[in-house]
Structure 1
């Protein structure tokens, strides 16, 4: 009997070892991993550069309180600001995407106190979007635009509103005197791999300027090369300048780390910077930004840059799209996404799903049996999240497995 809480509907496999794009279970069977910890293992499993960085740092200094500084944290913050965001600002280090998004929410509320309503009342509302996902803390589930994550956790926290994704008119109509910020994923991962249009992202930025709101970008799943250039928003609308960004997942290559960035832009006539609102005592963490976590993340950043992995991401995206289009399988409705955050839409009327199973999870289970790990993204979308350094041969092998799985659905028992 397991002593682990059953908070996950786990697939029936126990993994014990990984190397590159492959993992092995406790029976010795190998799998191609196109789940990668849900976009976490950006360089695959046990990449030598990251392993060596962790080993070296573990023998020097693993953890100190954030009451003190470390060179690893300072250097990682510099790399993020100067090489990736490329806009003046400051970074706070956390341990996960949920924590990073809570930091964005707190920052928006701080801003709403510093820039209140005309009568002096604080602004505190954050608008996000249907099908979004921002973590499973209380703040995260309230920001998330999916009812299923909120069930059983009433009463909900005040100050959150959801509107349809890619709908500028609905967004503008939802803005009220208490609104302080707009939170969005440039590419919604968990909600079905839905991409913000350039017009929408530019329009959101314009509304933020018009109504004195913060533009908060959740790049937890999309950042640091997953979607091509270092940040997904730059792939979509590079001229947009966010006020705050959250990250986690791939930035540690498998080691737990998260972060959020706040802009140094002035928020009033005195020149007060947005980043200065989160001063001493406003936020904190015991483990975030440890020397060990920062050393791992720096190794990931160095490998991404030196190997020009965003170029490989763009090339493999094109190969994947062309290959799937050539299949001409009726069960595939479309391929959505950017870079190596790709969602394959399924026509669930074309195959029989066992009672109690969702179509996407059913397909992921079939792929698992065939030796390929892929995660679902909503009820009728499967995701491809290979490492950023995935090879042509590995992509071809994975797509061969997936084509076989999907082709087998086009047989007896098809509905419609």
Structure 2
């Protein structure tokens, strides 16, 4: 079927898409409407943590669909209970709220913090509601999460913003401290800023931030929508720094490709009352059954160690590639990595890599001078080698 035969104009234009339609996906590979294959290092922006269409997700979907799809969140269902129990068991949190997207999970965290601020007022007896976030951060595309984000230009697109999100600088404790007022209730950050170019919070900063928030009676919220669920080589990215946050959000990888997210909190922060939070599809058994299957895979013996090993391997190969082509090196954690290009050629690389034949390469350039790599966590070293070789050819083709 030719691309012109697809009625793409029926879709609202929200992004610039290339003229191809993906029809199949298996592991690290996607296939388009003409049968061309692409080695996929986006994986839905770190969503497909086990690659495209893994068997465990196929099995979970078909088995659960035969039983029960959505009884309503007004009732308990077995898969949501099982997944919540496993998340609690393997984290420092006590309670779980399921949602459909990372933005929803972050909205829930913001609401919970503000509810906490109503119950724990300042010395003058007023509500505390401000949440310190960070420049260059990304927390979602709802009005509140866009306001919480520090993405350049987002303060004007749908102005006015939701108030109450002063911005600090990542890895700069003084910039956080000077924003604390009697209105502050929490600090919210990504342990690895993904959309800004894979910028990790240092261990020292995370530990000092936890101490500072405790000193001032503030909540610490970690947004692990992109960095959680094994992406950094730990099940959760906060574990890299040996800190205990109060609230954590998950998305993307928790569903392995299906719409699933979660907000986790410690018992003393669980102040929602009946009616405060909800959602028509939240915690439905079809999606939480998939989440349970994904988590079971991540928890298998040796899986997370393999992510660390392959993350180190990918980082080392990116350094070699950088030296070969005169670029500026690698950074990141686990299998969330970036190649610093040193020049604004990211878009050229992405387009050229996608269009090469006989097989294409799918890459992401969140900034003009940088490439981001988000492969499946079960990517093979052979697939890493293949990507490095393909990318090297692209750089040569572009004269770099």
Q: Can you list the C-alpha shifts for 1:149-198, whole angstroms capped at 9, x where unaligned?
A: 33321111111111111111111011111011000000000111101011
Give runs of aligned pairs for residues 199-278 of structure 1, distance below 5 A. 199-235=204-240, 237-238=241-242, 240-264=243-267, 273-275=268-270, 277-278=271-272
Distance 1:73 1:319 in 2: 36
Gaps of 5+ in 1: 265-272, 350-358, 412-416
2:186 to 175, 181, 204: 181
* 2:348 is the counterpart of 1:362: yes
Partner SS, residue 147 of structure 1: coil
Matched, 1:337 2:337: no
| Alignment partner, residue 381 of structure 2 | 392
Return the TM-score normalized by structure 1: 0.91
- Alpha-carbon distance in structure 2 between the residues aligned to 1:331 and 1:20: 32
Q: Give the drift of 1:379.
A: 2.7
The match for 2:37 among 27, 30, 47 is 30
Offset at residue 399 of structure 1 (A): 1.1
Alignment counterpart, residue 7 of structure 1, candidates 11, 14, 24: 14
379-388 vs 252-261, greater mean Cα deviation: 379-388
Correspondent of 1:284 among 265, 273, 278: 278
Q: Report 1:113-152 matches (<5 A).
A: 113-152=118-157
Q: Which of 33, 43, 56 is equivalent to 2:63?
A: 56
The answer (yes or no) to whether the contact 1:15–1:24 under 8 Å persists in 2 is: yes
Unaligned residue ranges in structure 2 (runs of 5+): 1-7
Report the alpha carbon displacement of residue 367 of structure 1 after superposing the two structures with TM: 1.5
Q: Distance in 1 between matches of 2:367 and 2:185?
A: 29
* CA deviations over 1:15-37 (Å, ceiling 9, x no partner): 11001111100111001111100
Residue in structure 2 matched with residue 401 of structure 1 by the alignment: 390
* Contact in 2 for aligned 1:98/1:135 (Cα 8 Å): yes
**Aligned to 2:304, which of 300, 307, 310?**
310
The count of corresponding residues between Structure 1 and Structure 2 is: 389
2:324, 2:19 → 1: CA distance? 28
SS at match of 1:259: strand
Q: For the Cα contact (< 8 Å) 1:187–1:194, is it kept in 2?
A: yes
Counterpart-to-counterpart distance in 1, 2:93 and 2:221: 15
Q: C-alpha separation between the residues in 2 aligned to 1:66 and 1:209?
A: 34
The structural deviation recorded for 1:89 is 1.3
Rounded Cα–Cα distance in structure 2 between residues aligned with 1:78 and 1:242: 18
